[in-house]
Structure 1
């Protein structure tokens, strides 16, 4: 892990198109601004983990019969 020290209004550049700026520091809370292309997903870590868990649960609920039925609609000869 790379650890960098930044003061308020200072930034970190990631690659050519992502910039993270420290907007303010109040007590133990840091406000961060992120400039990135629209196609880059940005989430708080807890939200990202919740999305991953929901996706994993959704995959578990898909039955083999449903998958077979899906492929039958694509190629009715099988």
Structure 2
């Protein structure tokens, strides 16, 4: 739902990293739902299945891909 663009960004970033020859990747997501979906995908069908399946395919290649959830810090914006 709200994290679809984050999932797409991860997949596109992984594809780019693979194409550029990177073989160790650390992914930090601030969406716990997105992190859990990518980490605990069990084959269930849902509207993110294609993206998650693509992530799993990319992750299974001969490289190290670590994914973790982070706490996003609020941005402090000051105006004059």
TM-score (norm. length: structure 1)? 0.24
- Which structure has the highest helix share of the two? 2
Pick 1 or 2: higher relative contact order, CA cutoff 8 A, min separation 6: 2
Bigger Rg over Cα: 1
